[in-house]
Chain A
Amino acid sequence: MVMEDWVPRGPAKSADSSSFAFSDAASDIAFLERIRWFRMSLIERICTSSTSQSDKVLVHLRQEPTSQMAEFFYLLDCQQIRTVGQLQRLAELHNAYVVAVTKDKSKMRRLGLTSDRLLDAMFTSDTMPRLLQNWQEEPGAIDQSNLARFLGVVMSPETCRKTVVACAEAGFLVRRKSPYGTFIVKSAGDLERVFGSTLREARSRNSK
């Protein structure tokens, strides 16, 4: 399968603030309130839904990487990434994006990424087959190191591992060791459901 190049959409380059009127800000503030409410409620609900209430687990669940992981699984579900072909398409788009970022030094600096970390986040001829094979054998199952690759631009592999471990202890992810010694991760579904329901509630909040 071949893949189109990474095409960024709608970058927020600059805003025309010269005609901005603070008097019209009521709706904007309501929107801001929704964003704040969403971030607050998401963490609360993730912690509440956790089957483990140990401090060690909750400390990780309250951190940004857990929200990011919840968003990732939510998007996979909502964007209907179901088949092996769709997953391969996602991986190839991801690779194209990584290549684009490595060529953009200023973006690398903005994202706080190094070329080594970016290259480690790419799916290679060695890792891509394993990604697809795991998914083929059990749809939704991802090798932990491949999950870290998908999330490589937003968290380090070690942060991903710790987040996966915490989410597994919380009952959000099923994490099992494969015969090859790697860890296979699959969402139990609650994490994305919490994310989705909180997002929807935030969207409809104050909109009546």
Chain B
Amino acid sequence: MKTWPLLPLTLASSVLLCCPLATAPGFADVIARASPQFTDAELAIIARNESLRRTRESDPWVVKGFLERLGKLDEEAGGAEGKGQDPDIDRYLRSSPEAAHDLLQIIMQAGSAGQADTLKSQANAQGSSDEQSLSLPAGTHIEIVSYDSQSGTFAVSSVAFPGEGLTYATARALRDAIAAAEFQDLLAKPDQLVTRRFTLSKDLAAVFSDAIEEAHDRQEQPSAP
């Protein structure tokens, strides 16, 4: 097919966030002007990329514009070696397995949090007694799922803020709660926050001690028949 040699270049141009045709001179200029001057480095790239070799014959300015953009990109991204017929183009066309893996993890993380919300809503609707409520001063309300007195670690199900409605507990949420005016002098260290399980600093634990003990006692109590 006649357009095949241009296809990889066109796709690569997309990846480079530019359209070489848009940056190259107009069609009339291309006809009128002589071929662009390529540097030795650019000639080396053209030599090892089949699509560039072919395209240079028909559209040298497209190749020139592409190479200039590629150079800038390589400068920032640190051009790693590619393979195949068009090594310098292919590496920007290829989806990184690492990026694809990361995207999967992001959606899974968002999904698991969403499912937790759904389960929480269902539990609330059913009046579940699995979660212990813990009343805190200044209108802040944290619902405790479990508490380990030895490690001082507790898992919270939700954190509510006055005026913001119910916000489900996340590391950031708890940090924000702790950063609220009434707790400003008791900031927890970020490394004490691990996903949905939190460890209170000693100072903060002292403030919450009564409430935590209360929640702990509730956990110890046998369920009502």
Measured CA separation A81–B109 after assembly (Å) = 11
Q: In the complex, which of the residues A2, A72, A83, A117 contacts B167, with contact meaning CB atoms closer than 8 Å?
A: A2
Q: Residue of A at shortest CB range from B168?
A: A1
CB pair A7 B195 closer than 8 Å: yes
- The answer, yes or no, to whether A140 is at the interface (CB within 8 Å) is no
- The answer, yes or no, to whether A40 is at the interface (CB within 8 Å) is no
Instruction: Pick the 6 closest A-B CB pairs, nearest first.
Output: A79-B111, A158-B14, A4-B170, A90-B110, A86-B114, A153-B99
CB pair B80 A79 closer than 8 Å: no
- The answer, yes or no, to whether B206 is at the interface (CB within 8 Å) is no
Q: In the complex, which of the residues A4, A65, A81 contacts B114, with contact meaning CB atoms closer than 8 Å?
A: A81
Q: In the complex, which of the residues B76, B98, B106, B167 contacts A110, with contact meaning CB atoms closer than 8 Å?
A: B98
The size of the chain A interface, using a CB distance under 8 A, is 55
CB pair A113 B110 closer than 8 Å: no
**Contact residues of B: prevailing secondary structure:** helix
- B-side contacts of A93, CB under 8 Å: 106, 109-110
Q: In the complex, which of the residues A8, A82, A90, A162 contacts B102, with contact meaning CB atoms closer than 8 Å?
A: A8
Measured CA separation A162–B93 after assembly (Å) = 13
The size of the chain B interface, using a CB distance under 8 A, is 46
- B-side contacts of A63, CB under 8 Å: 11
- The answer, yes or no, to whether A89 is at the interface (CB within 8 Å) is yes
Interface string of A53-88 (1 = CB under 8 A from B): 001000100011100100110011011111101100
- B-side contacts of A3, CB under 8 Å: 170, 172
- The answer, yes or no, to whether A112 is at the interface (CB within 8 Å) is yes
- A-side contacts of B160, CB under 8 Å: none
Measured CA separation A85–B7 after assembly (Å) = 40
Measured CA separation A74–B151 after assembly (Å) = 40
- Knowing A2-B170, A4-B171, A89-B114 touch, does A76 contact B96 (C-beta < 8 A)? no
- A-side contacts of B139, CB under 8 Å: none
- B-side contacts of A161, CB under 8 Å: 14
- The answer, yes or no, to whether B192 is at the interface (CB within 8 Å) is no
Cβ < 8 Å to A, chain B residues 104-126: 104-115, 117-118
Cβ < 8 Å to A, chain B residues 70-100: 73, 76-78, 80, 91-92, 94-96, 98-100
- The answer, yes or no, to whether A97 is at the interface (CB within 8 Å) is yes
CB pair A154 B170 closer than 8 Å: no
